[in-house]
A and B are shown apart, each in its own frame.
Chain A
Amino acid sequence: MDFNKWYKNKVESNDQDPPEIVWNTIQDELDIDQSWFFIKDHLDKKSDNTKVFIYSAAAIAIILILSGALWVGILQNGRENLELISTNQNVLNKDTIIVNPLIIDQIAVSNQNNKSKTQSSSDNINNKNELTSAEINDFVLADELRTNERHLAALNISGFIISNNFQIDKLKEMNQQDISTEMKTERIAFTDIYFGATGQFANTWMLNDKTINGLGSNDLTKTNASFGYNVGLFIGTNITKRINMQLDLDIITNNNQNYNEYINGHYVSSSLNFNYSQVALAFKYSKISKRFISGEHGLILGGYLGYLRNAYQIIDGNSSSILNTYNNLDYGLMLGYEYVIPVYNKIGIGTGFRAYLGLQNIYSGDNYIPAYMNKTNNASINITLSIKYDLK
């Protein structure tokens, strides 16, 4: 008998069921590994998300700056054209002007065609520097008035100089004064009263150590962008010529925060949801503008006081009330901008943004975590849409 072969056959035919605990232990080990891979993937992805967020924010900022610059440019251009149109009307009434030789050439060529003059324009350039108003009027009637704005722009570029005691600056000044006279009416305090309704789409944040650290790529908690909405009414009146006082009553104010966190070996999605009703008192600096689209610009600065009506937390789909662990009241600052466009009679539609920052630690603490260890502040950036009615 070949002992080795015999032994090999015996051993290899000895199939034995290992205890079930072996497989269970293998599974546990694989679970731990898989959890780590999940965490690693998650952290890598979060790092990518942060980069995307930063690049997106930078891109949006650049677009906004460029758009703003373009908008200002368009407004400025429109204003200059208006001034030039105004200037043109005045210039055309004057007896004598000195103009750019290039323009004189254009006028001379036109005159030649009309009056069959034989002299070349270059030979008589000096003689043509002074033109009668009748000649100019003929030319304007024939050509320039039809393309008034374009031609005026050309005149402007060519260094159009007005003589006979006319200065562009003075014209501009007069023009501004005219506009101001139209725009401004002397207002006394509490003479204008308005009210309306507002809706706000809010990007809300609950700022505390966990959510702030969760914005970084090296933390196990991942803070996600959260959104809510506000609905309310407002009433306001003027207290000086340009400053209004406005009282907002936001009946529904949502403040939410979504995040993912690692609990008991699992990543779960969590959210904190707060429903407030809040009152805000703000001062609004208004300036009426007729540039581009006629409307009212308003800068808003004020404070708010919020009452917490309901608060709950959702962890992995399970909701629980957290009303007792958060303060009933919240207060803070409010900053905003609004642009109101009159749409019909005394009705205007306004749009803009507001930023709210809570000054109060809304977390009141529980048996496990005292308030000072989890300081939490509300914050939000809102896009606003409002409808306004002027009573007086």
Chain B
Amino acid sequence: MNVELYSDEELLIGCKENNRLYQEILYRKYAKKMYGICLSYAGDRDMAQDILQESFIKVFKSIHNYKSEGPLEGWIRRIIINTALDHLRQKTKLQKYISDKDEVIKEVEEISAIEKLQTQDILNQVAKLPDGARVVFNLYALEGYTHREIADKLEITEGTSKSQFNRARKLLMEMLNKLSV
């Protein structure tokens, strides 16, 4: 099934009619990409699958509310992110793991060899990050949220968001440097 042959508009119409074929095509069109994102947020594959599954159920149930104001992919992605955050909150009580303490972050020297790392290796290292730090890092680096927006979303302070981001970045670079060496 070549899902690329179907436009988002067609898929939307079909999905709004609860047509199972169109729902499957929509899923297959976006699931790969969204699964990658789920993996970057979730600590493990099982959770990533749960997030993906729950997100697409939300997509199909609430597709009547989609106003076509932005790209469909962006809308699905927002649902994925929110679902991922919900999962992480349930799993870890996220705020508890996001310390308000400003840590002294020592700059880590970036080694050019990490550029050659496989994506899967990178994701494996990301998964090792503490949940709170990983979420803040992903929201900032992947979604492009500002620290103010992250703070609002996670109900933390802006300073905490910044410190968690720096912490995650430092830890990740350390791990990647080790891996590349």
A residues bordering B, Cβ < 8 Å?
Answer: 1, 3-4, 6-8, 10-19, 21-23, 25-27, 29-30, 33-34
Contact = CB atoms under 8 A, between A and B. Distances in A.
9 contacts: A1-B115, A12-B33, A12-B142, A14-B119, A15-B32, A16-B39, A23-B31, A26-B53, A30-B20
A11 B24 CA distance: 24
Given A7-B172, A10-B119, A15-B33, 20 more contacts: A1-B110, A4-B140, A4-B141, A7-B122, A7-B142, A10-B122, A11-B40, A11-B119, A11-B123, A12-B33, A13-B119, A14-B39, A14-B40, A15-B32, A16-B35, A17-B31, A17-B35, A30-B18, A30-B60, A33-B61
B81 interface: no
A266 B20 CA distance: 17
Contacts of B120: 14
Tell me the dominant secondary structure on chain A's binding face: helix
A141 to B, nearest CB: 84
Contacts of A7: 122, 141-142, 172
Contacts of A8: 141-142
A11 B53 contact: no
A12 B36 contact: yes
Nearest to B41: A11
Contacts of B28: 23
Contacts of A16: 32, 35-36, 39
B147 interface: no
Contacts of A4: 140-141, 169
A22 B42 CA distance: 16
For the complex of A and B, 9 pairs with smallest distance between CB atoms: A15-B32, A14-B36, A18-B35, A14-B119, A4-B141, A10-B119, A11-B40, A22-B53, A16-B35
B110 A3 contact: yes
Contacts of A25: 53
A15 B37 CA distance: 9
B164 interface: no
B160 interface: no
A16 to B, nearest CB: 5
B28 to A, nearest CB: 8
A8 B33 CA distance: 13
B31 A18 contact: yes
A19 B49 contact: yes
B112 A1 contact: yes
Contact of B52 (A22, A27, A30): A22
Given A4-B140, A15-B36, A16-B39, A29 B24 contact: no
A255 to B, nearest CB: 40
A1 B173 CA distance: 12
Nearest to B35: A18
Contacts of B20: 27, 30
Given A4-B141, A7-B122, A22 B40 contact: no
B83 interface: no
B71 to A, nearest CB: 14
B49 A6 contact: no
Contacts of A15: 32-33, 35-36
Interface in B50-73: 52-53, 56-57, 60-61
A53 B140 CA distance: 62
Contacts of B39: 14, 16
A57 B35 CA distance: 59
Nearest to B118: A10
Nearest to B34: A18
Contacts of B119: 10-11, 13-14
A13 B33 CA distance: 8
Nearest to B59: A26
A21 to B, nearest CB: 8
A4 B40 CA distance: 14
B177 to A, nearest CB: 11
Interface centre among A4, A7, A21 (most CB of B within 10 A): A7
Contacts of B31: 17-18, 22-23
Query: Which of A16, A17, A19 has the most CB atoms of chain B within a 10 A radius of its CB?
Result: A16
Contact of A26 (B33, B37, B56, B112): B56
A1 B116 CA distance: 12
Contact of B24 (A1, A12, A23): A23
Contacts of B48: 18
Contacts of B27: 23, 26
A12 to B, nearest CB: 7
Contacts of B161: none
A3 B176 CA distance: 11
B23 interface: yes
